[in-house]
Structure 1
Amino acid sequence: MQPWQFTMKMPPQLWCQGKLLQFKKLITVPRFKILLAICVAIGLTHGSASRALVATNDNLQGTITVSAASSLSDSFVEIAKVFRKENPKVKIRFNFGSSSSLVAQIQAGAPSDLIASADLSNIEKLIKSGEVASAGYPKIFAHNQMAIAVKPGNPLKIKTVSDLKNAKFLSLCGATVPCGQYSATVLKLARLNIDESKITRAVDAKSALNAVAIGDADAAIVYLTDVLSAKKSVTLVKVPKALNVDAIYGVALLRNSNNREVAVAFIDYLLSVKGQELLQSFGFIKI
């Protein structure tokens, strides 16, 4: 076989790197240029193999506002840092809150380029009111589960959902927001009725968790990712699979986006290999 006659029997990025090194001094300049052009064309030279896994554009520029569920705050801030390293001319502003409150803000005219919700039903509301840019949304980008957060050291020895009856105060999200609805499902599956006088309601998952961290509640049912992010400020008690829910996260481009190119690129990044790895590192279940 001549040096310029070759087959690809390995990952393309390794193939290109190997052939360029192997044939640089063996084949004629024109043929080497052809090989180099092939590798450049498919984005595999000079470290671009990893970048080919995500939707990035060196020419992306401008600012976008991302409305996102509070349970995404830690992961999205980190994802934005990585995204901006690859797209330094982009700026990302965040508006975190409960998914239902974000929908209300957008419907009232609050500026936003995209919404990332802890459920799909809230995005469906925006679709019905004409706020979503086009068909194909929402796009599912992550899954989450519910967990119990208790005071550090678990002084009440809460081991499962049924033990929550021993809590003097239980912190839950509002009944109309996704984490409140998911928590209600967990309690229903456990056949546990908690007197409303023992329940403190929070505007979103972060606030529900914080009630335990500062000692205002003995326990909370919130997203697993939030408990993991809280680290030592609370103690994690897992909810059994049979009593748990699949919290499905969706994202949508909004009709009034002022920078659709960057907003779509950010959505694509969430769905990319790198985006999914980052979400998974915060405890989310990848799609």
Structure 2
Amino acid sequence: GESFPLAAGERAAFHWQMAKEEPLLRVRPAPGQGGFVPKADEGWSSGFPIDSPGTFIVYCEQGVSAEDDGWWESLLRILVVVRLVNARMEISFALAPPAPPPYRISNQTGFVLTCSQKGVSAARRAHHVRPKSVSPFAWAEGSLEHTLLVTVSWMQTELSNRSKGTQWRSMQLHPLREHHPLNLDAMLQSVAIGTSGNVVAWARVELQGGVRVLTVTEKKEKPEEVVMTTEDEPHTFLAVDLAGIGLSVVHVHLGELVYISAAQLKLDYVLSANSATLELQLHSFQVDNQQASATLPAVLFVKVDPQALLPAVHLSVIKRLR
């Protein structure tokens, strides 16, 4: 596809010329900014639709591999707002505040996990999670199916002499199970990785501190046994994840009075027979007085610390039902 530069504060007309293709736009910072000089196909965000209003948060890689420490912190996060203005779609970009990763992969096995999104080339975006380690994860393409493909491999390490007095360590991965699909929305269910006659690991997704954590273990238990031994198994799960939301209070004679906006709202509700759990995270919140006579239009403003990965507001409520 075609690309064109857009400087900070600049506005430019744009026409989608590929009528037969889905209107998905991608962005990336100009090469060389921040010291990272990407190749032609590197550093681009995931595609986001521009044919209808919406708000998205996309991120651009800055030369740090997904399997390296600090990958999530190195990403350039961009807030994209698509609005309908005077019969045209207007697209604006701004830096998004820091936030924790939407997922974490906890590998409690002695194997190496290779994780990638279904439909995305593993060579482009594969997360290699070492044994007994935890790695952040995010979908490479928001417009594609949110299914994780997991390969479980055992690692062979060899030491050999490349020259006199110099040892060289080589590692080879031997797959036990390749490209096993996992649904990260299937909360609190133990899922076998492998076939019915050859289960190599077990996967389970849980909510920990507002982040969905995929835990992979070697414990071979049948899902039915897990349900029987769980005293308070949740039966209902509701998740809401909004990049931004706004509410306007309008008077029929005075016009708009108050505008309330919030960014990166995450709400998780889990209901079981004995308890109800509510987890709320909010990264910024603002109330504006929209009256022309207002001398201080910002009535209330709460924003996350740019140096922290914690939300500005984090509410966790657990209620016993019995």
Q: Which has the higher contact order (CA 8 A, sep 6+)?
A: 1
Structure 1 and Structure 2 fold alike (TM over 0.5): no
Q: TM-score, normalised by structure 2?
A: 0.26
Identify the structure with the greater strand proportion: 2
Structure showing the higher helix proportion among its residues:
1
